[in-house]
Structure 1
Amino acid sequence: MDLSPFEANNSFSCRLASQIPDVCRTEDCCLGVDEAGRGPVLGPMVYGICFCPVSKKEELKDLKVADSKTLTEAEREDLFQKLDEAKSYVGWALQILSPNTISTSMLQRTKYNLNALSHDTAIGLIQYALDSGVQLKEVYVDTVGPADKYEDKLSQRFPGIKVTVRPKADSLFPIVSAASICAKVARDRVVKGWNFAEDLGDVDTEYGSGYPNDPKTKTWLLKYLDPVFGYPQFVRFSWSTAQTLMDSKAVTVHWEDDDEDGEKAAQRKNNRSMLSYFSASTEGNDHNATHQTHRFFTERRLKSLDAL
């Protein structure tokens, strides 16, 4: 699994895929869909598909694939290796959704929640398999939202394919278990080797599971909260956990709008407005010796001006 395309720029979504086995282009195939990392406030969410000929279902079962959540990291890595070695009849594809992609999607002006993003990602991966020539006849999906509605949605989108959507599908259907393992292995590797675009020095990698209720995760979020610029792109800033910390620990920002001048509103509430961070120093060019310009400005070679 070559993660270098995503590691080169982890701000965006990225698709990775194995080669398509020749047999999958000539025989009826089944395909499973599952995800890893839906709940964490840190790191990406990874959607995975795995497919093989219907005639090879028993061989896939013999690999003893299981729901990735019931396996240790070492067991998942071992099973992924077995799936990769079965490339003569097993194929897979992944969509890595960066934290930045997730948050900007959820916070855009037009409502686009995590369920809609998940559905669209799954549909995109199934369509990728079809476009690649995989002869799909059966699709099995771990549900997101009501199973019956999701099943109807996929059945209408892919007529002629038998679609089965079930809760806990990763524990019911080996092909979904295989997709679960591919997705989880990819996410574990990405999180462990995350390339921080921000200059954070020697980053503390003890950030725990990434789930909001993990004490290690909470400690890490407090440690790396910049009071003005918020969090590095490793954090899903649309999550309520991150938003709550920013509201309570970061600098209050007042934006100018049509109703009231932002500077005056900020002064009245004894807060600084966003504009004040970009204005020239009241002391002219003599900055406080202890003041260190934020990397946002130095990276872009921005300087304060006395006048426009």
Structure 2
Amino acid sequence: MDDTNMSKRILSAENLEQHFLKHDNSKNFMLLSEVPKLCFNEPCLLGVDEAGRGPVLGPMVYGICYCPLSKAENIKALGCADSKSLTEEKRELVFEKLCKETEYVGWAVEAIAPNSICNSMLRRQKHSLNQVAQDSTVGLITKAKDSGINISEVYIDTVGIPEKYQEKLSEIFPEIKITVSKKADAIYPIVSAASICAKVSRDRALKVWTFQEGLQAIARDFGSGYPNDPVTKAFLMKGIDPVFGYPRLVRFSWSTAGKILQDHAALVEWEDEEESGANRSTTITSFFKQVNSNKRHKTKHEFFTERNLAVLESL
């Protein structure tokens, strides 16, 4: 998770865009609202959901929204519902309402950069998308706790098997009642609110995305970002460099992008470094000592000299 944290209250989607515009979109980014005073003292419920898990383009955004238990019905009255069931205009309207309820509503989002997702999934010790998602959830809940919010109950839209995920989170946060459920964004209004915060934030991040690779001429024409979108597929074909691949907007670990890279990127053949001397074989003892040609004295193997290692005579 990135160390960049914002505490200024966001009052509009336009203001939210400015934060994303100023931020380096190749790095993870956390944005937090001010904490309402009621949330320091009264027990609160908190919802967690994401936006942008499936697209081949752009960040995945995790969001939380919280309020006192005594104000739970107010969240529903604001019109919170699963963000996928709302039009963009409706999401923007509900998000504005959430931002204006400064007396009892707070929220936070983490934008996980596309290259961060890919690097996690492709590194030697692979970190799956589910693990990335769970790490973000834990990080956001921890941040809320560290901010002094009196969290009593947490509701989460699951990734993976709900029972196992709930057990894991309950071990991390034993003092909090954790509920993990499929379709939680359609069941619990506080999760719906988190879903809206995440979705609006992702939309705003994409709207002001800055291409550091010099692709501004085609930058805004990438469609929904989902692999089956023809406009997105066209962007992937136009945006590829045969040597350097894709801009950071693209999740190059996705099979859609990988297939295009395989078919259209320049082919490179890697030759093994030639060994000095014909049919030279390496034995395990060669890493510990090496005798020069005149055999007058012993020299250390380069493995040790390059690392400034020496024989320890005594402790």
The alignment's TM-score, normalised by the length of structure 2, stands at: 0.80
Corresponding residue of 2:179: 164
> Could you tell me which of 195, 201, 214 is aligned with 2:210?
195
Corresponding residue of 1:174: 189
1:47 Cα deviation (Å)?
0.2
CA distance in 1, matches of 2:274, 2:186: 55
> Could you tell me which of 226, 229, 236 is aligned with 2:251?
236
% identical equivalent positions: 56
The runs of 5 or more residues in structure 1 that have no matched partner are 261-308
Deviations along 1:142-166, whole A, 9 cap, x unmatched? 0000000000001111002110000
SS class of match (1:127): helix
Distance 1:259 1:112, change over 3 A: farther
1:255 Cα deviation (Å)?
3.2
Corresponding residue of 1:224: 239
Kept in 1, the 8 Å contact 2:211–2:219? The answer is: no
CA distance in 1, matches of 2:238, 2:141: 40
The runs of 5 or more residues in structure 2 that have no matched partner are 1-9, 11-15, 276-315
Kept in 2, the 8 Å contact 1:35–1:184? The answer is: yes
> Could you tell me which of 97, 101, 110 is aligned with 1:95?
110
> Could you tell me which of 265, 268, 273 is aligned with 1:250?
265
Higher-Rg member (1/2): 2
1:204 Cα deviation (Å)?
4.5
Corresponding residue of 1:286: none
Deviations along 1:7-52, whole A, 9 cap, x unmatched? 3311100000100111100000000000000000001000000000
CA distance in 1, matches of 2:184, 2:260: 35
CA distance in 1, matches of 2:38, 2:219: 46
RMSD between aligned alpha carbons? 1.4
The total of aligned residue pairs comes to 260
Kept in 2, the 8 Å contact 1:47–1:94? The answer is: yes
Distance 1:36 1:257, change over 3 A: farther
Kept in 1, the 8 Å contact 2:45–2:153? The answer is: yes
Corresponding residue of 1:65: 80
Corresponding residue of 1:85: 100
Kept in 1, the 8 Å contact 2:51–2:60? The answer is: yes
Kept in 2, the 8 Å contact 1:226–1:250? The answer is: yes
SS class of match (1:111): coil
CA distance in 2, matches of 1:227, 1:206: 20
Corresponding residue of 2:46: 31
